[in-house]
């Protein structure tokens, strides 16, 4: 074996070693990003499911179409009685989420705010709500149902995309909201 053959073998081994090292580094980084995005997806899914649960609670409180249901749901029944959604985690993991899911999840609080503004102050006093009372309650229940269903859909998509366990009561909640949306 001459010097030229030794140099070729050493250079090949060096290049191969550098490629493998970089490849492993990329795989490790990708794995970390994937785990971080899955953890963020779980946290956001739980926030959305909690919001949906609160929407369901509000609907149940209004089921009786009576004044007690109004007080139980939060009187006066305005856009302010919409459940509050907890703040999303503020970290860099959002950039590792699929853009369509991140967009849907991040825009959901804006949808809630739009609904809140659209339904604000429709029931300022007991006297003002006497006319069309049942119809207005139906509209509010539908709003809660739509928002609850939408939040459950986003949570489901997040869990599915990141292979997270399903919410145990997912089917029950989805069926419940379908009857109101």
Q: Please count the other Cβ atoms lying within 10 Å of the Cβ belonging to residue 30.
A: 11
Tell me the domain boundaries of the chain.
Answer: 35-178
Check residue 105 and give its pLDDT: 96
DSSP state of 15: H
User: What is the per-residue pLDDT for 64?
Assistant: 62
pLDDT for the residue 29:
77
Q: Which of 80, 67, 87 lies closest to 118, judged by CA?
A: 80
pLDDT at 120: 67
* All residues at 6 or more sequence positions from 8 whose CB lies less than 8 Å from its CB, including other chains: none
Interatomic CA distance for residues 92 and 101, integer angstroms: 15
List b or e across 63-80, with b for residues whose CB sees 16 or more CB atoms inside 10 angstroms: eeeeeebbebbeebbbbe
Residue with tokens 């959604």, as numbered in its chain? 85
Residue partners of 46: CB distance under 8 A and separation at least 6: 155
pTM value is 0.77
Give pLDDT tens digits along the chain (181 positions): 677 777 777 677 777 677 767 777 667 776 788 888 899 999 999 999 999 999 988 888 777 655 555 555 555 454 457 888 999 998 778 888 899 999 999 999 999 998 888 776 555 444 445 566 667 778 888 888 999 999 999 999 999 999 999 887 777 787 787 877 6
Q: What share of the chain is helix, strand, coil (3-state, %, to 5)?
A: 75, 0, 25
């Amino acid at each position: 074996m001459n010097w030229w053959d030794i140099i070729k073998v050493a250079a090949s081994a060096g290049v191969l070693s550098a490629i493998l090292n970089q490849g492993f580094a990329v795989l490790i980084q990708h794995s970390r990003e994937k785990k971080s995005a899955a953890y963020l997806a779980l946290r956001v899914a739980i926030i959305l499911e909690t919001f949906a649960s609160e929407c369901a609670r509000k609907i149940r409180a209004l089921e009786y179409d009576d004044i007690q249901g109004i007080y139980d749901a939060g009187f006066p029944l305005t856009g302010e009685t919409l459940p509050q959604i907890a703040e999303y985690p503020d970290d860099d993991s959002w950039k590792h989420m699929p853009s369509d899911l991140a967009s849907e999840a991040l825009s959901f609080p804006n949808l809630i705010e739009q609904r809140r503004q659209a339904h604000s102050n429709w029931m300022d006093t007991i006297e003002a709500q006497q006319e069309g009372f049942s119809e207005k309650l139906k509209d509010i229940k539908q709003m809660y149902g739509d928002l609850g269903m939408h939040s459950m859909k986003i949570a489901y998509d997040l869990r599915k995309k990141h292979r997270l366990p399903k919410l145990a009561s997912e089917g029950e909640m989805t069926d419940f909201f379908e009857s109101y949306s």
